[in-house]
Amino acid sequence: MNYYALEVNTKEGIYPKMEKGFHEADVNFWFINMTAFDREVTRRKKLFNDSIWPRYPMHPGPVIFPHQPTEASPFYYDVSAQWWFYVLIVVVAMILFYIIYLLKRRFLKQRSLSETSLLLK
């Protein structure tokens, strides 16, 4: 908290000297206010114990869920656990392979036609 003040004013007799309380308001905010805030957040987490959703947040800001969603939670929906998810992946893969097959077949057909037309000339 001590600092060396480099103020010089010879008319008023102010010279560099050691002083106390460097940015005291900022230091108090981070070491006193934020420590109390952290303590309160920890107390509320223990109080709610991941089972009760707090009705009023302590401060406006981003929503932070207090727990991971479970099957009983209204926010839980695991798509990869559904049978239709894997069927959908297989169908999409088959469609992509079929499109690639058609494009390759069309390209080879055009190439063979151009080669035969060159031979006929």
Average pLDDT over residues 18-36: 80
pTM, 2 dp: 0.35
pLDDT at 24 over 80: no
Closest CA to 73 of 39, 96, 50: 50
Residue 45's pLDDT is 80
The per-residue pLDDT for range 28-47, each reduced to its tens digit, is 788 888 888 888 888 888 77
Q: What mean pLDDT is reported for the chain?
A: 75
Confidence of residue 92 (pLDDT cuts 50, 70, 90): very high
Cα dihedral sign, 42-44-46-49: negative
